[in-house]
Chain A
């Protein structure tokens, strides 16, 4: 076999690299397509339940409990949560509502209720525990 010239070697190298690149890229693309086909579901094939998950409908003050704290009206749309909140003593409930529904920090609440910050923090966590116990008890019934 006669030795290849430099030019011929490059020509062959180039050809191989081009073909290889195309082949591997095509393989990648086909894998991608295959993955997509496996996961893709047509809209018409979705069950009603799945479809419902994709949409949101607004509900305005429908069966919502409302609490008044420091002049703020806070509505709670979850019925079981509202019932649980209703059983709490008013001062404890206020802390929970201010912290989790209005997003206030402990020191902000403390300032408004004339308490020490640590008192607010303690009451908040202990009330949360109580709330959890109450709601878990209800769920078991």
Chain B
């Protein structure tokens, strides 16, 4: 977590309030910031384990799943109400 992503009151892992307001208002730059913030989590969720014919496990990121999650997140951001 770099310093820019830290909230001003020092909570790590939280997006700053102005970014949230801008993102829910549909600001592209702010939405990109939100996506970047949750990128790690999205990738962790879309990592799947596959077994080849010899029974060895392979980890890979399911691109389709990753994009589905990203789209879902954007849709959710836009319905979030700051109140």
Contacts and interface: CB of A to CB of B under 8 A. Distances in A.
B17 interface: yes
Chain B, interface size: which category? 20 to 34
A25 B68 CA distance: 8
Interface of chain B: mostly helix, strand, loop or mixed: helix
A80 B77 CA distance: 66
Contact of A22 (B9, B13, B17, B69): B69
B17 A21 contact: no
Interface in B3-46: 7, 9, 11, 13-17, 20, 34, 38, 41-42, 45-46
A27 to B, nearest CB: 9
Interface of chain A: mostly helix, strand, loop or mixed: helix
Interface in B65-79: 65, 68-69, 72-73, 76-77
B38 A18 contact: yes
Contact of B45 (A11, A17, A22): A22
Interface in B39-64: 41-42, 45-46
A22 B45 CA distance: 8
Given A21-B72, A21-B73, A11 B11 contact: yes
A25 B11 CA distance: 26
B65 A15 contact: no
Contact of A8 (B9, B72, B82): B9
Interface of A: 5, 7-8, 10-12, 14-15, 17-19, 21-23, 25-26, 29
